[in-house]
A = this chain, B = another copy of it.
Amino acid sequence: MGAAAQTDEVENEPWGEVTPDAARRLLVAAVEAFAERGYHATTTRDIAGRAGMSPAALYIHYKTKEELLHRISRIGHEKALEILQTASAHEGTAAERLSDAVRSFVRWHASQHTTARVVQYELDALGPEARAEIVALRRRTDEVVRGIINDGVQAGEFDVPDVRGTTVAVLSLCIDVARWFNVAGRQTPDEVGALYADLVLRMVGAKR
């Protein structure tokens, strides 16, 4: 029940912090358009049209198409970081914290796969300044997972010869769920999260 409620909340209110309502509708429309046609093939006119607004109304909220992508990317990355930080801050062994982090992170990438794809695949379209900001957020994301793995190694819970490479692999495994996850498929986001938590504990050689 707790896990299901959490999934629903993340799933239904991903852009809750974006106000006013028109700015949020434009962001949702941009995510859909970028996911369907790619960033470069999408115009601000397309986005405004999807949101049922005029191009002029769009410019009140976003000066450029890049500003929309930057906003989407920042919110997506901040949410991913927050999910991992929350799990990392919990009481418990490194194995429990890592398991919790992987479950929530996978659940987010499965339920928010459209947003996650845009956020992951259109990084090159950002200008240098926006890109630097997102790269910094990704570095912090990486550090949270590396921190849990290091805690496990130091406590003698995990056996990891290459902590840095294993951290990259763990995050990569979870992120790629956004590419293949299919809402009509046989597994729910919760089920994929549970399977992946087990696989990641194996990757770090967690003592059973």
A interface residue numbers (CB < 8 A to B): 36-41, 117, 120-121, 124, 161-162, 165-166, 168-169, 172-173, 175-177, 179-180, 187, 192, 195-196, 198-199, 202-203, 205
Whether A172 lies near B162 (C-beta < 8 A) is no
Name the B residues within 8 Å of A39 (CB-CB).
Answer: 38, 41
Q: Which of A37, A176, A195, A196 has the most CB atoms of chain B within a 10 A radius of its CB? A: A176
Are A179 and B172 also in contact (CB < 8 A) when A41-B40, A199-B203, A203-B199 are? yes
Whether A120 lies near B40 (C-beta < 8 A) is no
What is the bound-complex CA distance between A194 and B196, given in angstroms? 21
How many chain copies? 2
Of the candidates B38, B179, B195, the one whose C-beta lies within 8 Å of that of A176 is: B179
Whether A196 lies near B180 (C-beta < 8 A) is no
Name the B residues within 8 Å of A37 (CB-CB).
Answer: 38, 40-41
What is the bound-complex CA distance between A41 and B40, given in angstroms? 6
What is the bound-complex CA distance between A49 and B166, given in angstroms? 42
Name the B residues within 8 Å of A41 (CB-CB).
Answer: 37-41
Closest to A187 in B: B165
Of the candidates B172, B173, B202, the one whose C-beta lies within 8 Å of that of A202 is: B202
User: Smallest CB–CB gap between A40 and chain B, Å?
Assistant: 3
Whether A120 lies near B179 (C-beta < 8 A) is yes
User: Smallest CB–CB gap between A204 and chain B, Å?
Assistant: 8
Of the candidates B40, B177, B205, the one whose C-beta lies within 8 Å of that of A172 is: B177
Of the candidates B117, B124, B195, the one whose C-beta lies within 8 Å of that of A169 is: B195
User: Smallest CB–CB gap between A71 and chain B, Å?
Assistant: 20
9 A-B residue pairs with CB within 8 Å: A37-B40, A120-B179, A121-B121, A162-B195, A165-B187, A166-B195, A168-B180, A172-B176, A199-B203
